[in-house]
Structure 1
């Protein structure tokens, strides 16, 4: 049986962005922290950090934020950057402001460039992040690409056989699967995460990607009921599906 982690209340809430330990101690003294229906005034108390804690604890009358280990699925819109520091719109801007102060920090699992939309995962679970992006896990990533010029028919076999070497690199690409949707639209499945990989693959065969959208990651598919710029938390079964669908 997996051991349940425990934490001091002030340390836990501080790591979740609720404030300094002094601020959290002050909040506890005035009845701002409620656990299982009772005021929790001693913030030095250690409690089990279980997934159901947000349904049992309130902070200033609001349910506790998700405990560490959260995984977020975002339908990334165009124009947003997967960065903590760059100028302009960031993917973190759509999350609650307090979540930007969490420690460990919430980070993207891989990146989508500014002009690529679609399925993006974010998490504060470093182990999960590295598992998903690890080349050894072969987590499939499926993109829908709109192209500037019609496909000529040789792209699929070339990508499928592997061995294509991108400009500026020495290591050949792993095999990738191309599904032709129309003369200028294709669905490409890759298992690597190199810099601007899909765009560079089509550039290598003399084409240009005009629009790029990620539809799937492992066994997770971006549903139509999640509009661009919206996000939702994943449950454990969905997190497991990341690896089950690769």
Structure 2
């Protein structure tokens, strides 16, 4: 199964933000199959190609993690950037910082999103197949808001 490089890197747990993933790729710190790749959208099969970051071989997690969260009001569903940090914004990911291993929390993504002012059920996981199955409109999975 092919995957985009930025998706693969985000799921490894080695990067705490999408901007760090992009910077590492653009800086030439990532090689796929022995060749430096500077395109974050590069597609490859991780079962057939080795990915190396600064001399360290990366792989997708062998164990998937699933969390169900009752998202509180005033919390955003994306990773915090510097601008949002300056505004004292809170992220659903920061709720897990002291509870689980940072490599696990860094690999999590939300299945969909809820607005900052909205509360409700939110699934967080490092299982990309589940995210695709639930979020992909062609799968016809209903959502109630």
Give the TM-score normalised by the residue count of structure 1. Answer: 0.29
- Point out which structure has higher relative CO (alpha carbons under 8 A, 6+ apart): 2
Larger radius of gyration: 1
